[in-house]
Amino acid sequence: MIWNPERETMSRGDLSSLQLELLQRQAARAYERVPFYRQAFRERGIHPQDIHSLDDLRLLPFTRKADFRDHYPFGLLAVTRRELARVHASSGTTGKPTVVAYTQADLAMWHEVCAREMVAGGITDEDMVQIAMGYGLFTGGIGWHYGAETLGATVVPASSGNTKRQIMLMQDFGTTVFCCTPSYAIYITEQAEEMGVDLASLDLRVGIHGAEPWSEGMRREIRERMGLDPIDTYGLSEMVGPGVAGECTHHCGMHISEDHFLPEIIDPETGEPLPYGERGELVLTALTKEALPIIRYRTGDITRLDPTPCACGRTHVRMEKVSGRTDDMLIVRGVNVFPSQIETVLLEVEGVQPHYQIVVDRERGAMDDLEVWVEVSEDVFTDDIGRLKRLQDKAEFEMRETLGIQARIKLVEPNRIARSMGKAKRIIDRRDVYGD
């Protein structure tokens, strides 16, 4: 089923005309109402009336995360405080959070795009949807909550945490759809195992995941352990939260709701737009948001776009699974690598569990040094030392062969790595200690 066939199956030509019209209107609103954009346009010697085609998008200035921080909390708004219906925020790793705001119309759009994605993932009004993403300032819980309500499903607003209760609710309510981050999904399966509950035998059908990078290996683990179809969804607070893009049941990339979010891929070094099919940084323009008309937002996320027709009938372009964030990319002796690539390699090694952490270190003046801590199952850990050593050698060999990087693998006992109920912290960066 398609939630909004008129929009989601529009011809590419009609979609481009709509996007151009919306872009022209949005650029004019940003220019008129947000001093930051007026100044940025003027600095580039551009006026909204100079936009004649979608190609002219490249003339417009970028917006960066730092711009949100510099205008904290409400400096980028295009509406008065009175017109705001809701505020959310994403916790930055340091300093002030990124604050985002919505008018009533923005909320209606957000509900619609979340409903679209859930329907694309196979959810219907007969489903019992347990939302185990955080409610509150984080957009995940509340975003999916209204998406599921909009499409007519039954919502169980569990929020994240209280894992034993999550499992009890799944059993007692007959939950069919479970929303959580991929790392929380794995944690839940472990808890279920401890409780003697076989999740795969419950009514679970579809998993709505996202909010952090995860590999196909992780998808396989979740599918097997939970007995559901794990769907990848992508979003970010600066646009709306969840609802920007999501997979259909064909699993061939995430359809971007292009009538609301205009995507580009750029070379992260030069800022130059790249053609379809090339991998680079995703840049998004919020075409319809009233409160925050964000232009050319540098997401920092690395992906590529595929405009070829999809078997589901949706015409919106698909973005490939995000391989990582530009700021999470590790450069190990000249080789660029993302944590998700390390995850892919690790999960191919028999006996290794999907719990790992990457420790990056650097002695002053020396090169980056990578150590990967990864858990092994109880039986492997308590087995003879020779088996552990063979496993470690194998994992190190695979890292070299597949990724071309030299990494020390440290196999650790079960439960040694901290579990996450939201976004997992995969990298421990000790390089900053040396101040270079």
Residues near ligand DLL (CB under 6 A) are: 90, 133, 139-140, 210-213, 232-237, 241-242, 299, 301, 322, 325
Neighbours of 102 (CB within 10 A): 24
Q: How many residues does the chain have?
A: 436
166 or 233: CB nearest ligand DLL: 233
328 or 391: CB nearest ligand DLL: 328
| Nearest distance, CB of residue 49 and ligand DLL, angstroms | 32
| Nearest distance, CB of residue 418 and ligand DLL, angstroms | 19
Q: What is the rounded CA–CA span in Å between residue 38 and residue 25?
A: 14
Beta carbons within 8 Å of 168's beta carbon, 6+ residues apart: none
Three-state secondary structure readout of 375-407: EECHHHHHCCHHHHHHHHHHHHHHHHHHHCCCC
| Nearest distance, CB of residue 193 and ligand DLL, angstroms | 25
Rounded to a whole number of angstroms, the CA Rg of the chain reads: 22
| Nearest distance, CB of residue 286 and ligand DLL, angstroms | 13
282, 325 Cβ separation under 8 angstroms? no
Three-class SS of residue 124? Answer: coil
254, 246 Cβ separation under 8 angstroms? yes
**Which amino acid, 275?**
P
184 or 381: CB nearest ligand DLL: 184
48 or 426: CB nearest ligand DLL: 426
139 or 357: CB nearest ligand DLL: 139
71 or 410: CB nearest ligand DLL: 71
| Nearest distance, CB of residue 179 and ligand DLL, angstroms | 8
Tokens of 420: 């996450």
Q: Which residue number is nearest to ligand DLL in terms of Cβ?
A: 210
| Nearest distance, CB of residue 391 and ligand DLL, angstroms | 28
